[in-house]
Every structure is written in C-alpha cells, then in structure tokens.
Amino acid sequence: MAAPLKHSDPITVEVALGDRAYDIIIGRDVLGSLGARIAALRPGVRTAIVTDRTVARHWLEPTQASLAAAGIPTSHVVVDEGEGSKTYAGLEKVSEALIAAKIERNDLVIALGGGVVGDLAGFAAAILRRGVDFVQVPTSLLAQVDSSVGGKTGINSPQGKNLLGAFHQPVLVIADTSALDTLSPRQFRSGYAEVAKYGVLGDEAFFAWLETNHSGIFSGSAAREHAVATSCRAKAAIVSRDERETGERALLNLGHTFGHALEAATGFSDRLFHGEGVAIGTVLAAEFSAQLGMISQADAARVERHLSSVGLPTRLQDIAGFTQEGLADADALLALMAQDKKVKRGKLTFILLEAVGRAVIANDVEPTLVRDFLKAKLTKS
C-alpha cells in the first residue's frame, strides 16, 4: 500500500445509503468550497453553525466567509470545548439557539468542530422540528476518520457514554485536513487511535503501512490525506451494509467497550480523551483475545507496540490519577461496561481479534473472565 508523494485534488468518498447517500470531501483547504457545495446541494437554504470556542477562533470566520460568498445566510452558536457540552444542558443550549435562529426543516445545521460538536449538533438537528438535515465539517482527526461519518449522534448520560442519541446521517461531510494543523499534539494522537483501529479490525496491510508511514501523517504530508481517506472508505463500506449497527457495524467499536468505561470512570474529563480511551481499550481487547487463545501474544504485543510508539497510552496505569476510585477497581469498571450500548439482556458483547486485521463480535462473554483479566491488568506494574 502506497500513499501519493504530493497533495492532490480533493478525494471524494461516497457513503452509499440509497436516497440518503452523501459524499465525504477530503483534502487540504477544501473548507473554502463549503458554500458552493451547499448552494449546489440545497439552493436557497439558510444555515446555522454549531461550534466550540477553540474551533471558532480558527475556523468560524473562514466558514462564514465561504457561506457568504455563495449567498447563504447563516447564524452560529458557540459551546464550551469537551465532553462537558455533550449533556442535557448542552443540548438545550444548542436546540434553543437553533429555534431562535428560525432554522426550519428545509434548512441546514452545520457542525463545525470535533466529535463532541458533531455528536451534539447532529442530535440537535435530529430532534429539531422532528428532523433537520445537517452538514459535518470535522476539524479533528478523530472526527474526520470516525465520528463525522455514519450518522451516530448523541449526548452522554451521567451513567454512560452516548446513551442518548439518534441515527441521523449528514448530507455532506467536508474534511479539511489543513484544520488538523491547529490541533495540539495530544489531540492529534488521540485521533490517530481511531485511524490505527481500522487497520487492527479489518485491514492488516493498512496497519503495516501505518507502522512504516505514521510520521508522515503527523507531519502533514500527503500520507495524512491517504490515511483519512482509507479510514473513511473502511467506515463507509461498513455503514452502507449495516447502518444501524444490527451486526457488522459493531466491529467499529473495537476498544470502545473498555474505553467508554474508562471515560465514564474519569468523569468524561480531560484526564482521558476519547481516542486515548480507545487506544487503551484496543490494547486490552488484543490482550484479552490473546488470553482467550484467539490470537498470539506476539500479535497483541504488535498492537500495543505501535500505539505506544506514537505516544498513546496503552495501559490502565497510564491514565492520570489512576489510583482514584473507579479506575483501580475491576468490579466498578465491569459495572460501567454493563451500561454499554452493546449489552443485550445484561450480557456483555466485546469486539475481539482473531488476527491483526480480523476482528470478530463476541457475544455472551463471561463476566468473571473479564473481571479476572482486569484485576490482573490493574495489579501489573
């Protein structure tokens, strides 16, 4: 697998969902085309932008300028950064702002930001007037390769991650890779966990390519667009076959059953970014698979080695404040996993590995095996 040596024209990835199909436009500086693309898609539309304070400083004005150049009226609402906005209060703020802006069913909501903004704005659009279409303009690596694609929207409950939400597909995704230049190193690494996930779960050749070429993704070479496009194609293919996660789409949750529990245990705070939870969760899933005899210890070590090599946390002990209540307690973590959306009639479902590049859905995993596994990991120095 080889990436282009130079930045090229924008890459288009289609999410094939029949009459609800949409395009993902990937490339440097494609944000400038947003207004023209929306005007062609929805002549005469009005828009409202939902963003957060940090993203607004960098990208609100260029977004507004692109819309204005196409003659598209817009308003905006700005929320605080982080998972703290994915709450009942955050949803109320955004929903009331959209109503005040007189956004109607034939208008568009624009989610300008990372995964939090996309989830929150998308959910608000899904319930506003019983459904308003929206456009995703993801500005983080995690959002560009994962959360902006596939129509999952929602907010958190104090009892768990993303427990309130709706499937609501965007009508367009604009992934401007130059926006990633403004991310902190920690934010970029967090998003990279989701890139690596696609290789681990279904594409060993891509994972091997990442092992060799990840530095170009971080430095901003053409490898970045290649990685984003490859990840989007992988997700789009699965979503087109299983939009509402009745089967195969659950594979995309590799690392998330463990990861979401860790996010909940840390209070959805900056102690653990989502991608960091996914990184630790992916390593735990690989190691649990090895313990069950599904893969070799060498394969599990390969996954851990690569994620660690880019600076991601890979052990429970890597989490800030590890000894605080809820992290060093296997039973407490298991209780949080029991709130996972993939739980069916109280039975735990995990995404495990048969090989690097081949994930499987494991239903009815015995809780005592998970508890013993976690206890061993919690006591390991």
For 331, counting Cβ atoms within 10 Å of its Cβ (0-12 exposed, 13-18 middle, 19+ buried), the class is exposed
213 is catalytic: no
The verdict on whether 245 is a catalytic residue reads yes
256 is catalytic: yes
Is 152 catalytic? The answer is: yes
d(CA 12, CA 109) in angstroms, rounded, equals 21
From 161, 260, 306, 341, active-site residue: 260
Looking at residues 162-185, what average pLDDT do you find? Answer: 97
Residue range(s) of every CATH 1.20.1090.10 domain in the chain:
254-381
What topology does CATH give the domain 254-381?
Dehydroquinate synthase-like, alpha domain (1.20.1090)
249 assigned to active site:
yes
Give me the pLDDT at residue 6, please.
63
Residue with tokens 């989007």: 232
Q: Which of 225, 243, 245, 263 is catalytic?
A: 245
Cα–Cα dist 256/250, whole Å: 10
pLDDT bin (cut points 50, 70, 90) of residue 297 is: very high
Cα separation, 193 vs 226, in Å, equals: 16
Among the options 130, 325, 345, 380, which is catalytic? 130
Confidence band for 177, pLDDT divided at 50, 70 and 90: very high
Q: Where in the chain is the domain with CATH 3.40.50.1970?
A: 11-182
User: Using CA atoms, how far apart are residues 366 and 371, in angstroms rounded to an integer?
Assistant: 9
CATH numeric code, 11-182? 3.40.50.1970
The percent of the chain in helix, strand and coil, each rounded to the nearest 5, is 55, 20, 30
Asked about 235 being catalytic, the answer comes back as yes
* pLDDT tens-digit map of 307-359: 999 999 999 999 988 766 557 789 989 888 887 656 666 678 899 999 999 99
Q: Given the residues 28, 93, 197, 249, select the one marked as catalytic.
A: 249
Residue of 42, 93, 152, 302 with catalytic role: 152
Residue pLDDT, tens place only, 206-261:
999 999 999 999 999 999 999 999 999 999 999 999 999 889 999 999 999 999 99
**pTM for the model:** 0.92
Q: Is 253 a catalytic residue?
A: yes
- pLDDT tens digits for range 46-98: 999 999 999 999 999 999 999 999 999 999 999 999 999 999 999 999 999 99
